[in-house]
Amino acid sequence: MNTVIRPLQNSDIPTILEMTKKTWGGHDHLPRMIYKWLSNPQCYPMVLDLDGEVAAVSNLKDIDNGKTGWMEGLRVHPKLQQKGLAKLMTNKLVEIASEKGFKRIRLVTATMNPAPQKLARNIGMKVIDKYSILWKRYGRGIKWIKDDKSIMEIDSSEVLGFIRSNSELVPTNCLIYHWDALEANQENIDIMREKAVFFISESEQGKGLSWGFRNETRHGPEWCFSLYASNPEVFLSNLNFHLKYAREHQLKDLLCIHPKKLKKYYDKVKWLKRRAHEIDLLVFERLL
Which one, 109 or 210, has the nearer CB to ligand COA? 109
Binding flag, residue 178, ligand COA (CB under 6 A) = no
Binding flag, residue 1, ligand COA (CB under 6 A) = no
Please give the residues from 4 up to 43 whose contact with ligand COA meets the rule CB under 6 A: 23
Which one, 76 or 189, has the nearer CB to ligand COA? 76
Which one, 112 or 145, has the nearer CB to ligand COA? 112
Binding flag, residue 87, ligand COA (CB under 6 A) = yes
User: What are φ and ψ of residue 217, in 5° steps?
Assistant: -120, 175
Q: Residue 228 CB, nearest distance to ligand COA (Å)?
A: 23
User: What are φ and ψ of residue 192, in 5° steps?
Assistant: -65, -35
Other Cβ atoms less than 10 A from the Cβ of 209: the count is 24
Which one, 75 or 242, has the nearer CB to ligand COA? 75
Binding flag, residue 100, ligand COA (CB under 6 A) = no
Residues ≥6 apart with Cβ < 8 Å to 138: 243, 246, 247, 252, 254, 271
Which one, 86 or 243, has the nearer CB to ligand COA? 86
Binding flag, residue 60, ligand COA (CB under 6 A) = no
CB-based contact 20:75 (threshold 8 Å): yes
d(CA 44, CA 25): 27
CB-based contact 234:206 (threshold 8 Å): yes
Which residue's CB comes closest to ligand COA? 86
**Site size for ligand COA (CB under 6 A):** 19
- Angle of helix 186-193 relative to helix 156-165, nearest 10 degrees? 140
Binding flag, residue 124, ligand COA (CB under 6 A) = no
Q: Residue 78 CB, nearest distance to ligand COA (Å)?
A: 7
Could you give the residue ranges of the DSSP H alpha helices within the chain?
Answer: 13-19, 30-39, 85-100, 114-122, 156-165, 186-193, 232-248
d(CA 6, CA 45): 9
- Span near ligand COA by CB under 6 A; candidates 73-81, 183-191, 197-205, 265-273: 73-81
CB-based contact 205:234 (threshold 8 Å): yes
Which one, 176 or 272, has the nearer CB to ligand COA? 176
Binding flag, residue 59, ligand COA (CB under 6 A) = no
CB-based contact 126:284 (threshold 8 Å): yes
- Span near ligand COA by CB under 6 A; candidates 109-117, 136-144, 226-234, 244-252: 109-117
Q: Which residues bind ligand COA (CB under 6 A)?
A: 23, 74-76, 81-87, 109, 113-116, 118-119, 122
